[in-house]
Chain A
Amino acid sequence: QLQLQESGPGLVKPSETLSLTCTVSGGSISSRDYYWGWVRQPPGKGLEWIGSISYSGNTYYNPSLESRLTISAHTSKNQFSLKLTSVTAADTAVYYCARRERRSGYSDYWGQGTLVTVSS
């Protein structure tokens, strides 16, 4: 059974960098059929797609975050990560990692989510 688990600090100071890692077990992130990505949900708001990375390392970013965003994969550890620079309170959200099917684009496996609060 595929499992994803987010890890990283729950509190980040304004202007600093938010860094999260997603560890995948029960399947390989090198699979050609899937992309691996991040989705967030600010308190009281809807879901926002952040971006994803393919098996070959191609990245796809939300233009609203692209200038601050890096998603990378670490195939030897079966992990992928998110870095978001220059964070503000608007980046406070529950961050989910998820597997995205390559053709249809749906996300069928999700991590449990981790709350990241941006505050001094």
Chain B
Amino acid sequence: DIQMTQSPSSLSASVGDRVTITCRASQSISRFLNWYQHKPGKPPKLLIYAASTLQSGVPSRFSGRGSGTDFTLTISSLQPEDFATYSCQQSHSTPSTFGPGTKVEIK
């Protein structure tokens, strides 16, 4: 299985901050990398697919970059509704695997 790691595991930030989360795959996954936002009691919400394509309806302050094994999710200006857990997912190989998540908390 392809292992996905994320860093940091959690971070504290203020409204308006620029936040970057890193996701790394244990082997090359080309650009088969998706990002989700997850809030308690709700299903994951797709933010970015194919490493950098913004899902319809997702604010443009979210962006994704990377290919191969190293990827980033950036929130350009953190908003109150962005405090959540963010998980990456590789869809290159079966089984698809998720990163452990990065919890973004209010400073």
Residues in chain A within 8 A of chain B (CB atoms): 39, 46-49, 51, 60-64, 96, 98, 100-101, 104-108, 110-113
Contact = CB atoms under 8 A, between A and B. Distances in A.
Contact of A110 (B44, B50, B55, B99): B44
Contact of B46 (A60, A61, A106): A106
B44 A47 contact: yes
Contact of A49 (B55, B92, B98): B98
B46 A49 contact: no
B91 A60 contact: no
A46 B32 contact: no
Interface of B: 1, 32, 34, 36, 38, 42-46, 49-50, 55, 87, 89, 91-92, 94-101
A47 B46 contact: no
Contacts of A61: 95
Contacts of B96: 49, 105
Contacts of A110: 43-45
Contacts of A106: 34, 46, 49-50, 55, 89, 91
Contacts, number: 64
Given A96-B44, A104-B49, A110-B43, A47 B87 contact: yes
19 contacts: A46-B99, A46-B100, A47-B36, A47-B38, A47-B87, A47-B101, A49-B89, A49-B98, A51-B95, A62-B95, A63-B1, A100-B91, A104-B32, A104-B34, A105-B34, A107-B89, A108-B46, A110-B43, A113-B43
A42 to B, nearest CB: 12
Contacts of B55: 106, 108
Contact of B91 (A48, A64, A105, A112): A105
A63 B45 CA distance: 25
A47 B43 contact: no
B91 A47 contact: no
A33 to B, nearest CB: 14
4 closest cross-chain pairs (CB), A and B? A105-B91, A110-B43, A106-B49, A47-B98
Contacts of B87: 46-47
